[in-house]
Amino acid sequence: MNDMSASHYSRYVWLDENHSHMKWKIANDINQPADCHFQNAGFLYPEKYVGDGKIYFCPSQKAGEFSEDFYKPLLTSDDVKGVVRSSYFYNPRTQDATKPDGYHRRYPKTAQLEGHKLFGCDVITSLQNDWTSHLNDEGYCVLFTDGGAKFVKSPEAFDLVSQMGNTPSPNGAIFSTPLELDRVFDILEK
């Protein structure tokens, strides 16, 4: 769970490892079908902390695979991979983004949270209307380890993201690298 072997694993709420549960209405119970499980903030759903799961999606995200509508009725897996992705990254920082063996969560336990550091933010991906919640505002909603939250308007972060592209990975191409994302997280953390 704390291995960040791909840069965007922190956005998944629910995952079907075999991609066989398409358009599957997910029960809010920890017991799931074989090879299906909650990920990241998804564990809050079966514990009944997030209601119907609407909280996993930014209200400004109206379309696309990071929108609430894509997974209706909430929470229903998509029709491509059998997953539910959030429009937010959850605990996305790595211990050392410069080394492939350092792609472990910076905060594997809540007792390790430190000061005012980034703990969650809007998904950072290609700057497109269907994928970027606050494209016109050039910023990201950020949740911090001390419980604080704010909207960070950052043309500097958007400029970095605009220079990122797809990176090959064992499971197909992913957007950016952990190191590139870490640089954006550093800007949003200021």
Task: Confirm if 133 and 122 have CB atoms less than 8 A apart.
Answer: yes
pLDDT at 162 over 70: yes
**What's the alpha-carbon Rg for the chain, to the nearest Å?**
16
pLDDT digits (tens, 9 = 90+) for 101-130: 768 889 988 899 999 999 999 999 889 888
- Please state at what angle helix 178-189 crosses helix 155-162, rounded to 10 degrees: 170
Q: The tokens of 46 are what?
A: 């079966």
Please state, in angstroms and as integers, the Cα–Cα distance from residue 183 to each residue in 21, 98, 152, 153, 177, following that order: 35, 11, 15, 16, 10
Q: Where are the domains of the chain?
A: 1-190
Q: What pLDDT, on the 0 to 100 scale, is given for residue 122? A: 95
pLDDT digits (tens, 9 = 90+) for 20-73: 999 999 999 999 999 999 999 999 999 999 999 999 999 999 889 999 999 999
The region of weakest confidence among 58-72, 77-91, 164-178 is: 164-178
Strand-pairing partners, residue 142, are 121, 150
**What's the rounded Cα separation, in Å, for the pair 58 and 90?**
13
